[in-house]
Chains A and B, each alone.
Chain A
Amino acid sequence: MELNELYREVILDHNRHPRNFGRLDPADALANGHNPLCGDKLTVTLRMDGDAISDLKFDGNGCAISVASASMMSEAVKGRPRAEVDALFDRVHALLTQADAPSDGIGKLAALSGVREFPARVKCASLCWHTLNAALANLQGSAPSPISTE
């Protein structure tokens, strides 16, 4: 378990220079995510084009893992239809929790594989994905509610 497995250069870069940082206004959906354990908070806003996410931004504050994960997610899901986003979330979740999960074909997101060696940090990396899911659920007219990792 080495620190540079967790804090890979791509993660440090996305933490220093988060992509798609901010809020879309107007947005088709908004969701707030909160990790009460460490106080990480983030907000995801998105716009849809039919069944696909046409644009997405996030803001808030959090640790390097949570900011970098959200930044890389924002790049990865833009332009994708929901089924592909769901599949990508499954791949990332497996990557964060299962030792034998494959990391091919998911681009930069593979950099998150080091997180599973640091169990206390898995929720940091998954917060943005849970928040994105909540935003997508809000699209369907269900009441918006803050989501929490706890």
Chain B
Amino acid sequence: MSTPYNVAQVRSDFPILSRQINGRRLAYLDSGASTQRPRAVIDAVDYYETQLHSNVHRGVHTLSQLATDAFEAARERVRRYINATSTREIIFVRGTTEAINLIAQVWGGVTLQAGDEIIVSALEHHANLVPWQMACAARGATLRIAPIDADGQLQFDQFLAMLGPRTRMVAMTHVSNVMGSVLPVQAICAAARERGIATLIDGAQAVAHETIDVRALGCDFYAFSSHKLYGPTGIGVLYGREALLEALPPWQGGGDMIRTVSYQSATWNDLPYKFEAGTPHISGAIGLAAAMDYVESLGLKAIAAHEHALLQRATAALLQVPGITLQGTAADKGPVLSFTLAGVHPHDLGTILDHEGVAIRAGHHCAMPLMDLLGVPATARATFGCYNDNEDVDQLVRAVVRAREVFG
């Protein structure tokens, strides 16, 4: 890409960024929790609502056909975004959490036996931890935790040593939502596949920041949410290799997922509909497709380079503030900056920053076991997106300095 990244232009695509918070310029540094929506996504959803809406896969009338076409075009858009082989591998779900629960329940239900093992990392968000705890409890299987080093990176050799004859699934995050570490997903999946072990990657924190190629990664399942990719809430994607999905029974029963139904029994629809019972989030899928168009128009490489520069600027500046400790210093990091400030609880830091117009996340980040491991009750976390600029970083740093002053 030869043209320089024009962040001012990008910012103008996001209407919410022009509003003020507490009388101050908004520095939105919570994209790791949820990204804002560009005008293109808002317009795509609006066009659907005003021109196309009807139920999908049902009626013979014009609107139903238009809605179905738009919904299925969105599925094809998702397939291209992650380079899946077929749209039969793209299951629309409510989000990352639902995708992982679907696999933990359906795959776990037919696969896990007493004594089997599932491996997750110490970094996992509750969404990639609790569903596996539940699946293990239901089947008498054991959940094992692959350790991380002091920087927050997976200890790969120790992970490899944990893979054994009873290991059935390796479920890991692609990018840590707390420490930012980018895990070596390709190597993880290769090691698992060599041993006949299934893999699921939680891509929630990755999809907006790097090109995702599920075939190159070599995973069996990949899960992500639209609302962390500049799309609407309430929609996400479960990718699964077709042969694996084909072999699984359905999850929820209802409309759309069936082929024939009698009062006593039913037969299942083909993929992907087998896993999509009920009317889907049609406008959400269409918004997600628009978000993918938008992100690719900026270029994922260009976005990643821009965000990395912001992360470096913020890291360097915060380290100049006395009392700052960074949580997460892996060599390969996504745009996630977790930190604590001596003498100021992250919750107080969050309130003071908000007062200065700076939106960050303060808390346990849905990773309570990791907080315990790090020995902190909570952290403050700034996360960067395509629309953040140097002024956002500087506003963050000024607000952190202000917090130190308040707490003297």
**Distance between Cα atoms of A45 and B368 in the complex (Å):** 25
Q: Is the CB of A39 within 8 A of B351?
A: no
Proximity string of chain B (119-157) to chain A, C-beta cutoff 8 Å, 1 when within and 0 when not: 000000000000000000000000000000000000000
- The verdict on B94 contacting chain A, using a C-beta distance below 8 Å, is no
Contact A63 B347 (CB under 8 A): yes
Q: Report the interface size class on chain A.
A: 20 to 34
**B263 sits at the interface (CB 8 A):** no
Known: A3-B352, A120-B351. A40 touches B377 (CB 8 A): yes
From known contacts A12-B408, A64-B407, infer whether A1 and B348 are also in contact, taking CB-CB under 8 Å: no
Give chain A nearest CB distance to B352 CB in angstroms.
Answer: 6
Interface residues of A in 14-31 (CB under 8 A from B): 15
CB-CB contacts of B334-355 with A at 8 A, as 1s and 0s? 0000000000111110011001
Q: State whether the Cβ of B243 lies closer than 8 Å to any Cβ in chain A.
A: no
Question: Which residues in chain B, 343-386, are within 8 Å of chain A measured between CB atoms?
Answer: 344-348, 351-352, 355, 362-364, 368, 371, 377-378
Please state if B22 and A1 are interface contacts (CB–CB under 8 Å).
Answer: yes
Q: Which of A37, A39, A41, A64 contacts B348 (CB 8 A)?
A: A64
Residues of chain A contacted by B348 (CB below 8 angstroms)? 7, 63-65
If A12-B407, A63-B345, A64-B345 touch, whether A38 touches B351 (CB-CB below 8 Å) is no
Q: How far in angstroms is the closest Cβ of chain A from B132?
A: 20
- The listed residue (B22, B351, B407, B408) touching A121 by CB distance below 8 A is B351
- Taken together as a complex, chains A and B put the C-alpha atoms of A38 and B364 apart, in Å, by 7
Residue of B nearest to A67 (CB): B345
CB-CB under 8 A from B371, the residues of chain A are 39
Once A39-B368, A61-B377 are accepted as A-B contacts, the answer to whether A3 and B347 lie under 8 Å apart by CB is no
Contacts A63-B347, A120-B351 known; A39 to B364 CB distance under 8 Å? yes
Task: Check A6 for interface membership: any CB of B closer than 8 A.
Answer: yes
- Sample 19 A-B pairs with CB under 8 A, ordered by A number: A3-B355, A7-B406, A7-B407, A12-B406, A15-B407, A38-B347, A38-B362, A38-B363, A39-B364, A39-B371, A39-B377, A40-B347, A62-B345, A63-B347, A63-B348, A64-B344, A64-B345, A65-B347, A124-B347
List of 6 A-B pairs having minimum Cβ-Cβ separation, nearest first:
A63-B347, A63-B345, A38-B347, A39-B377, A39-B364, A39-B378
